[in-house]
Chains A and B, each alone.
Chain A
Amino acid sequence: MLSVLLIVIAAIFFTGIIIRAKSLASGRKGPLIMQPVLDVIRLFRKGAVYSETTSFVFQIAPTIYFSSVVMAMLVVPFGQSRGVLSFNGDFIFFAYVLALGKFFSIIAAMDTGSSFEGMGASREALYSMFAEPAFFILMGSLALLSGHTSFQEIFAALHIGSQISYALAALATFVLLMIAMIESSRMPIDDPKTHLELTMIHEVMILDNSGFDLGLIFTAGYLKFAIYGALIVNLFIGVIPYEYAIPSFFAIQFVMAVSIGLIESFMARFRMSHNPQFIVALTSVSLLIFFGVLLILQKFM
């Protein structure tokens, strides 16, 4: 339960902090930290415009997308406290329930019959496919290291002791951060602030959404970031008591948001054709973690 509360709080500020960091880096004052949340509240109170081409798929897709992200949030633990749902193999459920949301956001984009949205849908489907093996290998290595197969037990049993494990935690952080970037369509893969439909991925898929539905999609996006942030935090807090764990949760989330803002300010998006190579490289980093685990467990004897 604790994790849900923390993730929701983090999600409220996360995107605002990214935007503020970007504005400061470019020498502007920037909007309120709470502005993204205010935008969503405004959207929830608006009417909607639907394209004539669309069908019931377009109507239910944002709801299912949002629900899938919320379900994913429910299995994420926080240190010793379990998620709302915790069972063996819950990380498989985590990945697959997010896939449900993706499936619907892709077909909703195709429902509009727009060539732009079809393009975004095609890219989203391809990139998320490449990201999945990295996640499963990472979780498999952690499961092997800890001897457990649920998020909470894995994170509680991770012993950060030797130098190799520190290296592993750093690599795991990198992998999770990059998966978060891919899943939330942020910088090196996708540029949320681009103005040209041809260069978008996620933004172009939701061109035709408006009002309540758009609000749901935005909220789900904020939550997704905080969920991955929480997973990264979990790599480090282990069984630390709450009075240290909770502040470090917010500190890490804050650092993550600021660094995403800075990365987006000083880095250009990759060329579309280079994205798959980058994402496949992520899988090899996961494999590196796996071999690191094998080293620690001395399986190479």
Chain B
Amino acid sequence: MKSAILVFPGINRERDMARALKLISGHEPAMVWHAETALPAGTDLVVVPGGFSYGDYLRCGAIAARAPIMDAVRAYAAKGGLVLGVCNGFQILCEAGLLPGVLMRNARLKFICHDVHLRVERSDTPFTRGYNAGQVIRVPVAHGEGNYEADEETLKRLEGEGRVLYRYCSPEGVVDEAANINGAAHSIAGIVNEAGNVLGMMPHPENHVEDIMGCTDGRGLFAGLTAHLERAA
């Protein structure tokens, strides 16, 4: 797997992401500076990591979404290339128009930094094939703006087309208001675009991949991507 991690000023999770990708895929990812205009040849996964690009000025992800490298990412995604955005990366992908909707301020106005449970809604996608449908995983979140919102029409399409891949839930897998940490519409934690090759999610699977982290539930996402790409190759 040849992955490329985008690096913007203010991003701070790129090394966690690189470590997880190296550990699980066996290949060192390329770090790609935002001012570049092309992705490394042969890239088969682009990752937009978490952090606080441009200090969250204007709107979270708004300025990074207009960086030169994003034109290359748009062209790459249009050709079906896999793109994964985590946390600020999810916000950047929404601002860039690669995913619908927007991440608003958390409904209870607090920055949330703790483990959450996610229900994996389906297993037949490159981003979830390392899990079973309905499986509950535990991964951390760390965000102040993770409250996913979109207009009714968009939400209907996301649900109808099975594009919600991850939802906040209780440890038992129950999706309800109590488990919906940030007030997101339909408890959405992660969605894909229409073609299914661009995933944005608020939680950080890259931070639950080694025993020393106390949990390895995040491995499935990267293992699934690696298996998908090896099969395609």
Q: Do A and B come from one complex?
A: no
Question: A residues bordering B, Cβ < 8 Å?
Answer: none
Question: B residues bordering A, Cβ < 8 Å?
Answer: none
